[in-house]
Structure 1
Amino acid sequence: MSRTTTSRRTRTLTAAKDVLRPLAPSDGLLGSIIDRGQEPLPRGTWVVFGVAFAGFAVPVIGFVELAERIRSGAKLPFDRPVMLWLRRRHTPRTTRIVRAVTELGGVTAVPVFALTAAGYLAYVRGSRRPAALLTVSLVGSTIINSVLKLLYRRDRPTFFAHIVQEKSYSFPSGHAMASAALAGCACVLAWPTGWRYPVIAGSAAYVPAVGVTRMYLGVHFPSDVLAGWCVSLAWVGEVATIMWLADRLDYVPRLLSRPEA
């Protein structure tokens, strides 16, 4: 290839970058990726991408399998037996406990806790990305849940009288999605700290407990709860991965530009 051709191609690429640069500013995640040139990605990036992909693909496949069966009108073999088994365990005392526990995954407790934690992280600790993770994950899960309910329009179970009244559609469970999103964010934020294992243990008890209460109260099928967990796991995992990558891509250029002592 002649020197003239190479020079012309270089000038063309430079002109194209100048035109596109206002559309892709150098700050932020997109700009960091575009402006890196030949600079390698931070160490461990591809491992995180692999884990994130698996963490996204597995729950999405699970949700799709459940959704396809529901859309086709097929009855899932475990829905009715599980709910009837829980119905046989109804007692006044257990019902009072269940009604209290189910509120921990409701439309009041989860947003209040998430917004309080986000405010604390942002204004007291000065950590905006953890606050953004909580806000984006919880608000996003709420929007996704509303869209999916309207898309599938599954009626609530009718195996026995509902102990609480719900007016929206059944699939997927909003309580299951909200509690799983909150617990997922808590695990992500606690992972690099000494609170990792207590938070994981608490989440492992909290999420199933809220899910079981929805079935006990007669307002959700087990498949509704499983679908909610799948969607929230995929959503929070991808939000956390994007924010991790943004943090890494912002950190490396600052590290490289730091003046030597």
Structure 2
Amino acid sequence: MPVTSSNPPTPPASRLAGLAGKLTAEAVAGTAVFVLAFGLFFYLTRVVFREHSQGFDAWGFAQMDRLRHACPWTFEVAKALTFFGSVWFFIPASLLVPLVLHRRGLGRYAVELLLAMGGGLALNELLKAFFHRARPASALFYQYGLSFPSGHAMMSMAYYGCLAWLVVQQGRRWGAGAALVGFAVAIGLTRVYFHVHYPTDVLAGFCGGAAWLVLLRTGIRLFWKEKKLIKN
């Protein structure tokens, strides 16, 4: 007698149901991270604009002042780091890197990076205009614009966070991904080091950038998989 398999092949409908369940789980997880990040963001707005608390800001400035006085060489390091979160770096990087990704067949990541930077910039400017917080009077050099949230912190988290996800997805290089996120954090901290942003500005920028990136990534991933299902 012919031997029959005890596990019949999975019907296409079941595979689609499983994929839908996976997408739903990803959407829920993404929403949870988004809500958590923006929950912290709005907690900071309460601390800064309603309670007018300066404890965290004073503590953060004191730590950076202690570092600068103890290790004067860190000034040049911070000056170099902060460049990689500036508009002078992000404008060419946000155009050239997506072009390279597209030519390597990573069109989805190219679109995601472009949207992460374009949308993140628009969101940051809207938030700055809404909260209208002046920069610290103790800044070591003049910096144009408003203070809350930090554009360097927000855009660095969006840009390097997006690249971190790319290297993890493509090669499971978790160390490289963590290094990219750490680099974004270091760039944000230079703004406190130079007193051009309050520590609360920088923390809010990290939260805003992370939340925007998670929301964008969730939307793009759902759109791309839905597009593939329609084609199939």
Q: TM-score range by the shorter chain?
A: 0.7 to 0.9
- Which aligned pairs between 1:172-191 and structure 2 lie closer than 5 A? 172-191=149-168
CA distance in 2, matches of 1:65, 1:218: 22
1:125 equivalent in alignment to 2:125: no
* Corresponding residue for residue 25 of structure 1: none
Deviation at 1:254, TM superposition (A): 2.8
- Runs of at least 5 residues in structure 1 that lack an aligned partner in the other structure: 1-38, 256-261
Q: Is the 8 A contact 2:81 2:187 kept in 1?
A: yes
Deviation at 1:146, TM superposition (A): 0.9
* Corresponding residue for residue 30 of structure 2: 52
CA distance in 2, matches of 1:111, 1:198: 26
C-alpha RMSD over aligned residues: 1.7
1:162-186 per-position Cα deviation (integer Å, ceiling 9, x unaligned): 2232121110000001110012211
Change (3 A) 1:220 1:61: same
1:104 equivalent in alignment to 2:84: yes
CA distance in 2, matches of 1:90, 1:192: 38
Deviation at 1:197, TM superposition (A): 1.1
155, 161, 166: which one aligns with 2:134: 155
* Corresponding residue for residue 55 of structure 2: 77
CA distance in 2, matches of 1:95, 1:51: 40
1:59-114 per-position Cα deviation (integer Å, ceiling 9, x unaligned): 01011111123222511421112202211222542211111111111112123222
After TM superposition, the structure 1 stretch with the greater mean CA deviation from structure 2, 110-119 or 44-53, is 110-119
198, 208, 221: which one aligns with 2:175: 198
- Runs of at least 5 residues in structure 2 that lack an aligned partner in the other structure: 1-15
Q: Which residue identity does 1:81 align to in structure 2?
A: W
* Corresponding residue for residue 115 of structure 1: 95
Q: Is the 8 A contact 2:167 2:173 kept in 1?
A: yes
CA distance in 1, matches of 2:27, 2:204: 23
Rg larger for: 1
1:192-241 per-position Cα deviation (integer Å, ceiling 9, x unaligned): 22153133221232022111110010111111011001111111111111
* Corresponding residue for residue 21 of structure 1: none
Q: Which residue identity does 2:25 align to in structure 1?
A: V
Q: Which residue identity does 1:153 align to in structure 2?
A: H
Alignment identity in percent? Answer: 29
**Higher normalized helix content (fraction of residues):** 2
Q: Is the 8 A contact 1:118 1:135 kept in 2?
A: yes
- Structure 2 SS opposite 1:193: helix
* Corresponding residue for residue 213 of structure 2: 236
CA distance in 2, matches of 1:190, 1:238: 19
64, 69, 94: which one aligns with 2:42: 64
* Corresponding residue for residue 137 of structure 1: 116
Q: Is the 8 A contact 2:117 2:155 kept in 1?
A: yes
* Corresponding residue for residue 213 of structure 1: 190
